[in-house]
Amino acid sequence: MIKLPSEVTEYFPYNSVRPHQDEFVNTVFNAVHERRSVLIEGSNGLGKTISALSACLPVAVEKNLKILYVARTHRQHDRVIEELRAIYKKHPVAGVSIRGRNEMCLNVFAARGAFDSKSLMEVCELLKAKSRCPYYINVDERTYDYLQLQQQVAARPYMASEILRICKKKEVCPYELVKSALSDAKVVALSYLYVFDPVIRTAFLKNLESELQKIILIVDEAHNLPETAIDISSSTLSLFVLKQAELEANRFGNKDIEAFANFFRIEVEKLTDKISREEVISPDSIIEIIQKQGNIANPRDFFEHLHEVGSSVKRSLLAEGKNPRSYIHAMCEFLLKWLETLGDSSFINVASRYYNKENNKTAKLEIVALDPSKITEPVFSSTYANVIMSGTLQPLEAYSRITRLPQSTVKCIVPSPFPKEHVFSAVSLGVTTSMEKRTPAMYQTIIQRINEVVKNTPTNTGVFAASFEVLNALLSEGLENVLEKPLFHERKGMTSKANEKMVSDFKVCGDRNGAVFLGVQGGRTSEGVDFPGNQMNSVIVVGVPYAEPTSRVKAQIDYYDKCFPGLGREYGYVLPAMKRASQAAGRPIRTLDDRGAIVFLDYRFATNYCRSFLPSWISNGMKILPDSKGVLAGEISNFFEIQS
């Protein structure tokens, strides 16, 4: 049996390790100790958070490094602090979790008017410079209280929510307190953006008083990183922003900018008038329109002029006691990026028409990034070491190439700790959501199969459809009428608060007679929420969630084909879909005591090709069930009878 290194046992807080957890810890410790990165897949229930922290802390302490632990959700950040507290009882270590400025900001005026983290950062700096934020002023005026808070936070691990609560009571800025705590924190739990967004990273590292070379980076749920990196590099300009820029220019008496915003908005409307959804356009065509129809000989000089005016508008609004949001500034930021990315094959330019929240047809221009490594590689190549981990990373070589991890990266798949008898997985033949087969008869068969699982599952069942189109078709074909248990279902555009309430109500049904949750693969519930115990006994994955073959998806495939000949479709189309399906499939199996049934309702999951992208703990021993009524019901009933 493998044992933990003596350096790690100083920090590992538990008396025993889970099956294969020691393998995970040793792999991470050895790699980081040798100053190498590690790409490691480990299933739920393995204890990845505590394993990564315990393996990295000895090196961080010895070499005077900081550990940045990036994850998507606040719950994951809190989990890091919870585990750090367990470590603290054995070996004192300070740590803190950080939320975005918009959630850490107590200044209602600033938070209300900022539409993203970057704009809030600008608003915050302006308010501080003008001595207009009472919470920031109190940092200086209530020196004794503030120093006491600093010492308190520096002494042990603290969650962002706890710091926020303390600062509300003391009426001091939580963000400033967190910043001051960073120098004492050995571990910082935070979102991807702090590390991977170049603008936010620069400001954050300054506050951290460190540099990437002195950081061990742990990336949790790393399967999300490529998509996040693409989002960071991409940019959007809507008709709404253009209209607001026009009105703003009029209000501030900038006739040339008002005329330009009006002209450009009309040109974008003309350009998108005959587009049904979206279309890749030539970036040069937009510059040509601006030069010829707009009579602007030097677009760059004009955009720089817009930038100066936008900044001036922000200062004027703040002086008037208004929120310093400038649409002129937003417009020019986009146009300058349009110029910067000209001729760069890792970007495409897209014009699209869509319906806004008021259900009115509108349009936008987009700069769409195709290469996540432009964001990830500068980070991965600069840190002391990286720990890239998730339950769904296979094939590891593909992930390593897409994100451009260092050549010396250690790659490892750790076996699942779950007893085989705790997991039932199967594919039901005879059903599919492939486009040409989506008929009422097919949906009726799928509904029948769902009902077989629900009837024979002790309490709660999760159903995750390939898309909202499939979800809505299941509803319109009468899924709710067939089920004998209450149905909760996601709606497109649902607020996170409404979704959280619905998920909470569904979970409660696990202690009663059970219910059914219907969501989409790739949605916030299928990836960001755990359902241990009776909160979800069975999960049904309906269809392979391949992206709609839009212009941008085709461009992504073509780009990867150029970078990785022959692998474009796999990297740009198949892998993202199978990651979404795998994440949904893993919802009910979260702890070693959980027992769950995983059912794939699409014959394509039975093919060797699709199966090769599923985590081994799901694909090993997966049953292929014939296209016959009642077979699935018998299998599910038998599994849960044996378990009970």
Q: Classify 25 as helix, strand or coil.
A: helix
Residues 378, 368: Cα–Cα separation, whole Å = 19
Residue 536, CA atoms < 13 Å, CB-side half-sphere: 33
User: Hey, what are 572's tokens?
Assistant: 């740009």
Query: Is the peptide bond between 299 and the residue preceding it cis, with omega within 30 degrees of 0?
Result: no
Q: Tell me what pLDDT residue 642 has.
A: 65
User: Over the range 348-373, which residues count as b (16 or more CB within 10 Å of their CB) and which as e?
Assistant: bbbbbbeeeeeeeebbbbbbbbbbbb
Query: Does the CA dihedral 155-158-161-162 come out positive or negative?
Result: negative
* Contact of 122 with 324, CB cutoff 8 Å: yes
Q: What are 176-222's pLDDT values in tens digits?
A: 888 888 888 999 999 999 999 999 899 899 989 899 999 999 999 99
Q: Tell me what pLDDT residue 114 has.
A: 57
Q: Tell me what pLDDT residue 494 has.
A: 86
pTM of the model: 0.91
Phi, psi (deg, nearest 5) at residue 594: -70, 145
Q: Tell me what pLDDT residue 579 has.
A: 94
DSSP 418: S
**Residue 302 CA from chain centroid, whole number:** 36
* Contact of 469 with 547, CB cutoff 8 Å: no
- Please name the residues in contact with 61: beta carbons below 8 A apart, sequence gap of 6 or more: 186
Domains of the chain and CATH, by start: 1-90+192-220+384-417 (3.40.50.300), 94-114+135-185 (no CATH), 233-369 (1.10.275.40), 420-643 (3.40.50.300)
SS (H, E, C) 487-533: EEECCCCCCHHHHHHHHHHHHHHHHCCCCEEEEECCCHHHHHCCCCH
Q: Tell me what pLDDT residue 450 has.
A: 98
For residue 462, give the nearest of 474, 450, 475 by alpha carbon. Answer: 450
**Average pLDDT per 10 consecutive residues for the chain, totaling 644 residues:** 83 92 96 98 90 97 97 89 95 91 78 63 76 86 85 90 90 88 92 94 90 97 95 96 96 94 95 91 95 92 94 84 84 96 96 86 96 98 97 93 97 90 94 95 97 96 97 97 96 87 96 95 86 93 95 96 96 95 89 87 96 90 94 95 65
